Amino acid sequence: MTKSNLDEVVDLAVVGAGASGLTAADVCQASGQTVRLFDKGRGPGGRLSTRRAGSLRFDHGARSLSVKGPGAEAALSKWIREGLVEKWTPQERGPDADFSGWVGKPGMNAPIKHAAGLHRVCFGSRVAALRQDLGHWIVMGEEEAPLCRARRVLVAIPAPQATELLDGTGFQHQARVAAVEFDPIWVAMFQGPHPAAVGFETVASQGPVFAVIDAQGSKPGRPSDPAWVAQASVPWSRAHLEDSPEVIEADLRSELERIFNQAVSGPIQVHRWRYARCSNPVGEEALVDEALGLACCGDWCLGDTVGDAIQSGLAAGRWLTDLSAESSPASP
């Protein structure tokens, strides 16, 4: 974007095009507001992400959609009707095995990808600062590049990242955002044995290292190749937070070989979610500063699930819509 983009003033700039930011954008756009979204990721998903490696696909963020609350349940029903989400009932190892959950189809990011297609989203745009100028917000990218001029800004990113971005803005809830903590999760993606050969498609907590290991091909709408995603437990991830990817790969490989009882010979990609799941949510749907025209939303306002992100995005969207109506010139 060039400086001339600042000639246009949009009603709302949203930082973060995950489930919460896009939900809020839907509400605001439906009420007639002009909305722009900025996301540092290369593509849609946020923590509901799907990664490709050759012909394999890995849901390396959320493994399923936990949804509670009327607004989030309505969103889930809509996604099911639109064919973006389907029930997944994998064959589980263990005596009390009865897990089933909702998953995006053909990847976890399907609903986010669909929602992003209805908006103007700039991917690959990390927002580095928020400045005020002549009664508007200037959304700044990296290297001091101005991205957009907006009447209001919604910050829809994990709280620790929001804390940095909001620093110096005078946001009245800054201390509450700064108090929110997240647990990390290391994730391993690899080509393993075929599920039929090991007799299960998902396995939960087999010792201290892993929380869950899922065969990707057992999810609806995926090819039946032997792609697996293993999520390390939170305590293990925390203890190994700063280890190098090479060390993590070696540690996780030996544990996977123990669980599968056979060698995992191919490469194992690892990904660290430094801010995976919120451990002490705020307990309020969204945080808003009416005087500044600045708000925050995200799963961490209410909990640590996709449903919490949607509920929070809906609340933020409604508040921003009310504020927009209040500040609009009265109709003749």
Ligand X SMILES: Cc1cc2nc3c(=O)[nH]c(=O)nc-3n(C[C@H](O)[C@H](O)[C@H](O)COP(=O)(O)OP(=O)(O)OC[C@H]3O[C@@H](n4cnc5c(N)ncnc54)[C@H](O)[C@@H]3O)c2cc1C
Q: Does 90 participate in binding ligand X (rule CB under 6 A)?
A: no
> Which region among 2-10, 11-19, 25-33, 240-248 touches ligand X (by CB under 6 A)?
11-19
The number of residues that bind ligand X (CB under 6 A) is 39
Smallest gap, in angstroms, from Cβ of residue 140 to ligand X? 10
Among 298, 314, 317, 321, interactor with ligand X by CB under 6 A: 298
Checking DSSP bridges between strand 120-123 and strand 35-39, what pairing results, if any? Answer: parallel
Q: Quick one: tokens of 152?
A: 């209001």
> Which region among 44-52, 81-89, 171-179, 242-250 touches ligand X (by CB under 6 A)?
44-52
Q: Quick one: tokens of 60?
A: 């390396």
Q: Does 104 participate in binding ligand X (rule CB under 6 A)?
A: no
Q: Does 277 participate in binding ligand X (rule CB under 6 A)?
A: yes
CA distance 71 to 75: 6
SS3 136: strand
Tokens 């929001």 correspond to what residue?
162
DSSP string covering 43-97? SS-TTS--EEETTEEE--S-SSB---SHHHHHHHHHHHHTTSEEEE---B-STT-
Smallest gap, in angstroms, from Cβ of residue 45 to ligand X? 7
Q: Does 38 participate in binding ligand X (rule CB under 6 A)?
A: yes
Classify residue 32 by its DSSP letter: T
Smallest gap, in angstroms, from Cβ of residue 125 to ligand X? 6
Q: Does 305 participate in binding ligand X (rule CB under 6 A)?
A: yes
> Which region among 12-20, 173-181, 233-241, 250-258 touches ligand X (by CB under 6 A)?
12-20
> Which region among 10-18, 202-210, 259-267, 322-330 touches ligand X (by CB under 6 A)?
10-18
The set of residues, in sequence order, having a beta carbon less than 8 Å from that of 136 and lying 6+ positions away, is: 9, 149, 150, 151
212-241: contacts with ligand X (CB under 6 A)? 231
Task: Draw the binding track, 114-153, toward ligand X (x: CB under 6 A; -: no contact).
Answer: ------------xx--------------------------
CA distance 201 to 141: 43
Task: Draw the binding track, 176-205, toward ligand X (x: CB under 6 A; -: no contact).
Answer: ---------x-x------------------
Smallest gap, in angstroms, from Cβ of residue 304 to ligand X? 6
Q: Quick one: tokens of 102?
A: 């909702």
Comparison of 32 and 235: residue with beta carbon closer to ligand X? 235
DSSP string covering 214-265? EEGGGSTTS----EEEEEEPHHHHHHTTTS-HHHHHHHHHHHHHHHHTS---
In degrees and rounded to multiples of 5, residue 272 shows phi and psi of -105, 120
> Which region among 32-40, 74-82, 85-93, 172-180 touches ligand X (by CB under 6 A)?
32-40
Q: Does 158 participate in binding ligand X (rule CB under 6 A)?
A: yes
Among 213, 276, 288, 314, interactor with ligand X by CB under 6 A: 276
Q: Environment class of residue 329 by beta-carbon count within 10 Å: exposed (0-12), middle (13-18) or buried (19+)?
A: exposed
The answer to whether the CB of 91 falls within 8 A of the CB of 194 is no
Binding footprint of ligand X on the chain (CB under 6 A): 15-21, 38-41, 46-48, 61-66, 126-127, 156-158, 161, 165, 185, 187, 231, 273, 276-277, 298-299, 304-306, 309
